[in-house]
Amino acid sequence: MSEYQQQHSPTAYGQDGDALPPVEQHAQQYETVRNAHETELIEDYVELIGDLLRHRGEARAADIATRMAVSQATVSKMIRRLNELGLVTSKPYRSLFLTEEGQKMAEISRSRHDVVLHFLRALGVDDSTARIDAEGMEHHVSDKTLTIMQRFTEQQRT
Amino acid sequence: MSEYQQQHSPTAYGQDGDALPPVEQHAQQYETVRNAHETELIEDYVELIGDLLRHRGEARAADIATRMAVSQATVSKMIRRLNELGLVTSKPYRSLFLTEEGQKMAEISRSRHDVVLHFLRALGVDDSTARIDAEGMEHHVSDKTLTIMQRFTEQQRT
DNA sequence: GATAATTGTTAGCCATGGCTAAACTGTTTA
DNA sequence: TAAACAGTTTAGCCATGGCTAACAATTATC
């Protein structure tokens, strides 16, 4: 280990934005992000399927491919995974549907997405930028922060 | 194409948070996120190397492995990539250094990271949550939004 | 200076998430 | 009803980013 011993000076920490976080905390930050990445795509698919079902009544692989700007083959493969994960049910050549669990996930993702999106708009970000940023950010915002964002948005509204 | 024709009603859009975005816009959101993911890890490594150099005077592969909670083998492989990309220079068993370009990237990442982190704190998020969220969010916040965040943080400070 | 401990590299494995091309199914239409 | 077309699936490729295990080099310690 070539790093110096961490100094345990709790006061210095948090006031000096420049200091490196303690090793364990730093490691946890990166781990959290890596974990988020694993579920991120899954959630995006499930969320989109939920949205399509809600707005269109059906969710076809072709639509998902178009909306995600991805090949149909990729979608097909992904659907198999979602199936194995018990998130969607699919009969070949038919619309997809969400399982109980899939619906729950879609609901959570959607609401998280909405909170972030509305927050960004309340903050003064233009709609199209807010949409893009929200799509990327939503999976990395903790529940704590979400709550704060929601509060902020509501205050702004009054 | 099984989706209905998109209605072109600009007014409805942006008021109804429930509507699906137009196909092209929706596709662009996902594309932007995918692109961000490609550079994300690279930036994280470069940023961390920069931070280690600044705070410790040297950046060893072992430190990176510890701080990222990743195996040394993974770091070694990654460093080879960073080398090929012209972002770092490395002699075996010696500290890493950033190239011009690497320094530029580190600087940008760091400042983006700081803006997000300070913003979250200004918003009322506790330090440790803010750190975790910032790490995930930083790569998905557009310049426009960054500017707004920065302004917000400054206002809060007065 | 020999040996132990640390650090770094390499080889080779795996899962993920893209892709294209080709095959297959289902629907529409001539 | 047969052909054409749209939609879906499968096969097989690639890059990325993890991992472990084995080995190599450097540094520290006795």
Strand partners, B96: B90
B3 belongs to a structural domain: no
Would you say the C-beta of B42 is within 7 Å of strand D? yes
Strand partners, A89: A97
Q: Which of A39, A27, A149 is nearest to B68 (CA)?
A: A27
Measured CA distances, B140 to A105, A136, B36, B133, B135 (Å)? 22, 5, 7, 11, 10
**CA A138 to C1' C17, whole Å:** 20
Find all residues with CB under 8 Å of B89, minimum gap 6, and list them: B83, B96, B97, B98, B99
Q: Is A19 on the interface with B (CB under 8 A)?
A: yes
B14 belongs to a structural domain: no
Task: Indicate which CATH number applies to the domain containing A55.
Answer: 1.10.10.10
With 50 as the cut, is the pLDDT of residue A15 above it?
no
Q: What is the predicted pLDDT for the residue at A63? A: 96
Contact B27 A129 (CB under 8 A): no
Helix B23-56 vs helix A61-68: angle between axes, to the nearest 10 degrees? Answer: 50
Strands A96-98 and A88-90: antiparallel
Find all residues with CB under 8 Å of B23, minimum gap 6, and list them: A66, A67, B3, B6
A144 belongs to a structural domain: yes
- As for how many domains chain B has, the answer is 1
B78 belongs to a structural domain: yes
**pLDDT band of A56, cuts 50, 70, 90:** very high
Q: What is the predicted pLDDT for the residue at A9? A: 35
**CA B25 to C1' C29, whole Å:** 34
Residue B70: give the domain boundaries. 23-157
Q: What is the mean pLDDT of residues A77-96?
A: 94
Q: What is the predicted pLDDT for the residue at A92? A: 87
Residues A69-82 as b or e (16 or more Cβ within 10 Å = b)? ebeeeebeebbeeb
Calpha distance A78→B157 (Å, rounded): 46
B139 contacts B43 by C-beta, under 8 angstroms: yes
Would you say the C-beta of A93 is within 7 Å of strand D? yes
DSSP strands (E only) in B32-120: 88-90, 96-98
Contact A32 B128 (CB under 8 A): no
A6 belongs to a structural domain: no
B111 belongs to a structural domain: yes
B17 belongs to a structural domain: no
With 70 as the cut, is the pLDDT of residue A151 above it?
yes
With 50 as the cut, is the pLDDT of residue A65 above it?
yes
A17 contacts A73 by C-beta, under 8 angstroms: no
Calculate how close chain B gets to A85, using CA atoms only, in Å: 22
Q: What is the mean pLDDT of residues A19-29?
A: 93
Instruction: Please report the residues numbered 71 through 110 in chain A whose beta carbons come closer than 8 angstroms to any beta carbon of chain B.
Output: none
Ramachandran category for residue A92: left, alpha or beta (phi over 0 → left; psi -120 to 50 → alpha):
beta
Q: What is the pLDDT of residues B113-150, one digit of tens each?
A: 999 999 999 999 999 999 999 999 999 999 999 999 99
- Nearest nucleic acid nucleotide to A1, CA to C1' distance: C6
Measured CA distances, B36 to A61, A137, B40, B111, B140 (Å)? 24, 11, 6, 17, 7
Q: What is the predicted pLDDT for the residue at B18? A: 67
B108 belongs to a structural domain: yes
Q: What is the predicted pLDDT for the residue at A124? A: 97
pLDDT below 70 — which residues of chain B?
Answer: 1-18
Average pLDDT score, chain B: 89
